[in-house]
Amino acid sequence: MMPAMTSSTATETSPTSGSSRPITTVGVVGLGTMGAGIAEVFARNGFTVIGVDVDDDGVARGRGHLENSTGRAVKRGKLDEAAREELLGHISYATELKALADADIVIEAVVENIEVKKAIFRELDDLVRPETILATNTSSLSVTELSTATRHPGRVVGVHFFNPAPVQDFVEIVKTVVTEPSVLEDATALVRRLGKNPVVCGDKAGFIANTLLFGYLNHAVSMFEGKYASREDIDAAMRFGCGYPMGPLALLDLIGLDTAYEILDTMYRQGRDRLHAPAPILKQMVTAGMLGRKTGRGFYTYEAPGSPVVVADDKTPSADEKPQLRHDLKLVGVVGTGTMASGIVEVFAKAGYDVLFVGRSQDKVDGVVATITKNFDKQIQRGKTTEETKAEVLARVSGTTSLDDLKDVDIVVEAIAEDLSIKTTLFENLDEICKPGAILATTTSSLPIISMAKVTSRPQDVIGMHFFNPATIMKLVEVVSTVSTDDAVTETVLALCDKVGKVAVKCGDRAGFIVNALLFPYLNDAVKMLEAHYATADDIDTAMKQGCALPMGPFELLDVVGNDVSLAIQRELYLEFRWQGFAPAPLLEHLVTAGYLGRKTKRGFRDYSSR
């Protein structure tokens, strides 16, 4: 339960804040979802809040947002009724800016239109006291340009809250070249008093989070527009492959496609990076009024405008289209004994399949069995499985050092070194050894599958089956068809993934498939941002974890994946797409050259030697 609020909360100044101006009264201009959320945050912390909207209807909508939001907080036990009444009592409403004459700070949260915002700042400049801070919640527009609408540009600063403001802890504080140091200091201290985590950055379109987020979202739209993968598969890939809370297309529907288009267009006009040029389908959808959840239709169709409930439409896969096993699969072969191969063996054996795996030596073969045994022992100790299940699964697993023993398998999955020459040699051998009709699958994460298929006499039976590490835990498998893959083989592998408890997504044979093609350009953009000294690695990681709810920041993830692996994938993407924005960041290349590969070498973007 939230403790009762007192009005003294807003008048206290932290001894470490360095605040030079007392801030007790906050004006909020614009009471849409964002503005109402900002008003709630300040009122929750005991500030006197004056909310202004263009007319009585706007005020009524804003009041409704606040009543609904605080009502939900009461239902969830985050707020008691007395605290809710006190919170709402801190807020008054008006339809004219002159009501803000005595405010200590005014935060503008109106439509993302530069002229509309400038008009507001121009009028506020004449109304408020000289020491009043004028702040904008813009997510992409130039704070510097907004400041030029005033006679005192030094008091203008960006204070970019994230939606929903009462929940999201991250706030970007955006300074211009003329923002007064005291204004920057006071705005930052104020945000800290709200219990938020502020990060200061320069005035660049998109700031930190949106610069990185919207390039990724735009690329996902292009992937959908080009019919490379379905909306469901693109979203599932990023949720199950990267642990993202939402897929990119569902997230765009939540943000609003009109908002996304304006942010991307602003970023492109400033930076001229093709990655930020809005995908044509975005403009078409905005023109058609398909703005996402708020209109009931965007990339998905919703139960009603404003509803989060997705309903079936003409793009929704039919239950009758569920993939079926078109090949009879009983015996599974796996080539490899590393971490990925061992995990794949365990996945198939747990699902009831007999598995024959091949290693280069008997020690390697014994190592796979030892790894699976250890995994089971840990689960048994935690009460998650039994000795009987362990014995049943291990009884289905057998190892060999001879590829020739794979002659009777129905499908073979290779999980060896990510080296095209080694893989193509293996596929030549598998083609000669395996019986006609056996499916030959590769777990490659970036190499062209058609290059493996073409060295066989059965390219129609060759397919990508990209598991994610660790295979026993990660739910996603990318099923990658080449131009030669038979439809029955694709359908069989999709059905097989479902049978072994995985979420399968279908895509074509091109660099990065879905996940890596979306993930690594975003990581590369983060390196470029660091390289340009726009923000620190810690601030960028904080922005993406707290502002976008990602499980790891880009530099944490790069150091886990390995900078050498990341560079190799980024080079493949650049060679495939030839987009300048995909060119590997020089800093990434320099780190790899220096041997700073991440956690595995104890140094990458961070130093792990003392950890």
DSSP secondary structure, 450-509, as one string: HHHHTTSS-GGGEEEEEE-SSTTT--EEEEEE-TT--HHHHHHHHHHHHHTT-EEEEEES
CATH number for the region 331-508 comes to: 3.40.50.720
Bridge partners (DSSP) of residue 136 are 108, 158
**Cβ–Cβ < 8 Å for 114, 148:** no
CB atoms within 10 A of CB 417: 12
CATH architecture label of 8-202:
3-Layer(aba) Sandwich (3.40)
- 128: Cα separation from own chain's centroid: 40
Q: How far is CA 458 from the centre of its chain?
A: 38
Q: Enumerate the CATH 1.10.1040.10 domain ranges in the chain, comma separated.
A: 209-309, 518-601
Q: Which residues pair with 508 in a beta bridge?
A: 481
Structure tokens at 93: 């409403």
Residues ≥6 apart with Cβ < 8 Å to 545: 551, 552, 553
Spatial separation of the C-alpha atoms in residues 47 and 103, rounded to whole Å: 11
Q: Which of 90, 137, 140, 160 is catalytic?
A: 160
Rounded to 10 degrees, what is the CA torsion of 547, 166, 199, 145?
A: 90
pLDDT recorded at residue 123: 97
Catalytically annotated residue among 45, 210, 445, 484: 210
Considering only CA atoms, which of 122, 165, 118 is closest in space to residue 145?
A: 118
Antiparallel, parallel or unpaired: β 462-467 and 476-481: antiparallel
Q: Which parts of the chain have pLDDT scores under 70?
A: 1-20
The CATH 3.40.50.720 portion of the chain extends over 8-202, 331-508
Q: Which residues pair with 304 in a beta bridge?
A: none
Mapped onto helix, strand or coil, the DSSP state of residue 421 is helix
Among this protein's residues, is 172 annotated catalytic? yes
Integer distance in angstroms from the first to the last C-alpha of the chain? 37
pTM: 0.89
**Is residue 602 a contact partner of residue 609, using CB atoms and an 8 Å limit?**
yes
How many of the other CB atoms lie within 10 Å of CB of 541?
22
Report the distance separating Cα 332 and Cα 355, nearest Å. Answer: 5
Q: What kind and span of H or E run contains 105?
A: strand 105-108
Give strand pairing partners of 157: 135
Task: Name the token pair of 508.
Answer: 């074509």
Catalytic residue among 45, 139, 218, 481: 139
Q: Which helix (H) or strand (E) holds 197?
A: strand 197-202
Contact in structure between 535 and 604 (CB atoms under 8 Å): no
Q: Is 176 helix (H, G, I), strand (E, B) or coil?
A: coil
Helix or strand (DSSP H, E) at 94: strand 91-94
Length of the chain: 611
CATH of 209-309, one of 1.10.760.10, 1.10.1040.10, 2.40.50.110, 3.10.330.20: 1.10.1040.10
pLDDT of residue 163: 85
Catalytic residue check, 210: yes
| Rounded Cα distance, 521 and 216, in Å | 8
pLDDT tens per residue across span 475-529 = 999 999 999 999 999 999 999 999 999 999 999 999 999 999 999 999 999 999 9
Active site residue 566: no
Which of 86, 112, 172, 414 is an active site residue? 172
The CATH homologous superfamily for domain 518-601 is: N-(1-d-carboxylethyl)-l-norvaline Dehydrogenase; domain 2 (1.10.1040.10)
pLDDT at 270: 84
The single-letter code of the amino acid at 318 is S
Helices 33-44 & 81-89 angle (0-180, nearest 10): 110
